[in-house]
Structure 1
């Protein structure tokens, strides 16, 4: 798969049509989103890293047995319908996926509804990604969605995530309901679904920067790092790469899934801004 490559005022943007998948955004020479060096770039195979689109279910879905994991959108052949680059200063991309495009994909039979999904990416001094889904059917449907962003960090064990203090969350590692107290720091495998629509900030003293993650249409925030053992068991994840990434995801999953009446639409969006650590 050949990526689409753009220069912007801040750095470089790379994206693939499969999955409408942003695989690189750099500010200067420093990557903001992370991609595994072991990732497969093959038709019908998910890319490990970047910003995968989880839709129309998250993980194994609410039933716990849906396949493929995270739905069919991230392996679907999205159609590029908009491509604007302004003098190397900014880039705006738009992809579209319909039920007709998805027909025959693994898992598409589990979502037998007429729909149109659009994914918009805009990069200037910041980067924003928006997933809009419209119900083109004659009956209501609901779905889960997440913009599964892998962020690049110097060492996840030295980072802290602010903005979730007081938020309830489901801890998928311990299978327990908890409440966040203070900053979120990383001391082991982390897989949490927070009930929160607030912006968060990832503070990274190794790279001396803060990544602010704002969002809209997103009642949940997912935070994930596999840690050493789980990373070592993944064929598309380098054994030591887990130290350099953390997922902070704008999401609408579980009991916060999106419901759409015929003709209705919903937009889930996230925006990333990078600043120096002393400015945050």
Structure 2
């Protein structure tokens, strides 16, 4: 896969057309959007890191057995239809239609006519927005997530604020729970929160806070594989779990989107960096 590299305000962005994938975003030499050193960048294989587009299902889908995991959109060949870069601001857009994905694994589970657009805008902040339109004559529904991987200094010292009091499903324990206080990490974490609000990832090691703002997102997913699961994944270096956390804008499970013919819906996330001095 050929990467696209762009200069932006104070940093660099790398993208790939497969999956309409924002793969990396750096401010100076410091990553904001994390990507694994073990990612293969192979055609038809997902990139481990960046902001994968999970669509039209999340994980194994609501039936629990759909493949590929997280849907076909993240490995599909999207078409780059907008590319505006002036060295400071970057605006990109990709498009994917029903005709583009014919024959791809998993498309037999979603046979509807659709147009999906993925917009990426990077200036001082990075925004990713997925818009899906129903181009057919029958209603359909789907799940979606913008699976944002964030770089952190040490996950064991990170706190996530903004989810206190929110109900969530713990996918590790297979149990419902309610968040009390900030989210902290002491082991494998995989939670789907009922939360549409902004969250803050406080990182004392990198001396910054990452502000995650969302729209069209009734769920917030928080994930870190921890040591054992990281070692079991071939596209994840053994130590890398310490420097990443996923905070995802999502609309999944009981919050799946239902679209009538001609309707469209947008899911978006924006990542802002606030340094220790408040800038």
TM-score category, normalised to shorter length: over 0.9
**2:200 match: secondary structure:** strand
Tell me, in whole angstroms, the C-alpha distance in 2 between the residues paired with 1:12 and 1:151: 15
Tell me, in whole angstroms, the C-alpha distance in 1 between the residues paired with 2:150 and 2:107: 29
Match of 1:181 in 2: 180
Match of 2:59 in 1: 59
Tell me, in whole angstroms, the C-alpha distance in 2 between the residues paired with 1:9 and 1:189: 35
Q: Structure 1, residues 75-98: CA drift from partner, whole Å, max 9, x if none?
A: 000000000012x11100000000
**2:33 match: secondary structure:** coil
**1:32 match: secondary structure:** strand
Tell me, in whole angstroms, the C-alpha distance in 2 between the residues paired with 1:142 and 1:19: 20
1:29-108 equivalent positions in 2, closer than 5 A: 29-86=29-86, 88-108=87-107
**2:193 match: secondary structure:** strand
Match of 1:148 in 2: 147
Tell me, in whole angstroms, the C-alpha distance in 1 between the residues paired with 2:26 and 2:37: 16
The CA deviation at 1:278 is 4.7
Could you list the structure 1 runs, at least 4 aligned residues long, displaced by more than 6 angstroms after superposition.
none
Q: Structure 1, residues 221-271: CA drift from partner, whole Å, max 9, x if none?
A: 000000000110001111111000000000000001111000000000000
Q: Structure 1, residues 109-140: CA drift from partner, whole Å, max 9, x if none?
A: 10010000000000011110000000001000
**2:262 match: secondary structure:** coil
Q: Structure 1, residues 205-228: CA drift from partner, whole Å, max 9, x if none?
A: 000000000000000000000000
Instruction: Indicate yes or no: 2:2 matched with 1:2.
Output: yes
1:121-270 equivalent positions in 2, closer than 5 A: 121-270=120-269
Structure 2, unmatched stretches of 5+, are: none
Structure 1, unmatched stretches of 5+, are: none
Aligned-residue RMSD, C-alpha: 0.8
Q: Is the 8 A contact 1:203 1:277 kept in 2?
A: no
Tell me, in whole angstroms, the C-alpha distance in 2 between the residues paired with 1:180 and 1:100: 43
The CA deviation at 1:279 is 2.6
The CA deviation at 1:165 is 0.6
User: How many pairs does the alignment contain?
Assistant: 279
**2:214 match: secondary structure:** strand
